[in-house]
Amino acid sequence: MRQGAAAWWVGTLTGMTADTGPLQVWDLLVTAEMARQIRHWRVVEDCSYRVVARLADETWGSATGGNQLFGEDLCAAAARMSGEYLNAEPWS
């Protein structure tokens, strides 16, 4: 599994609730405030994973070149932190 995906998958299997602490996604430590922004981009603005990654690169200085897998991992972490699931509404 790619970085970040394994932790999300374990959480999905255990039916965990919202995570309140920051989560490491690649080289970026995602805080609750960042998770809210990621959720806004994906859910409210309907951004693709690639666009989420590009916006994260621009906003927080990550250097992934808008990597789609990074965007997906960011969304998985943000969903986890809010007690939601990436493959369920409102994320998908």
Closest to 30 (Cα-Cα) out of 8, 13, 9: 8
Which pLDDT does position 29 carry in this prediction? 96
pLDDT in tens, 9-47: 444 444 445 656 899 999 999 999 999 999 999 999 999
Q: Model-level pTM?
A: 0.80
pLDDT in tens, 51-91: 999 999 999 999 999 999 999 999 999 999 999 999 999 99
Q: How many Cα atoms are found within 13 Å in the side-chain-facing hemisphere of 21?
A: 2
Q: Are 77 and 8 in contact (CB under 8 A)?
A: yes
Q: How is the chain split into domains, by residue range?
A: 51-92
Q: Give the span between the Cα atoms of 21 and 16, in whole angstroms.
A: 13
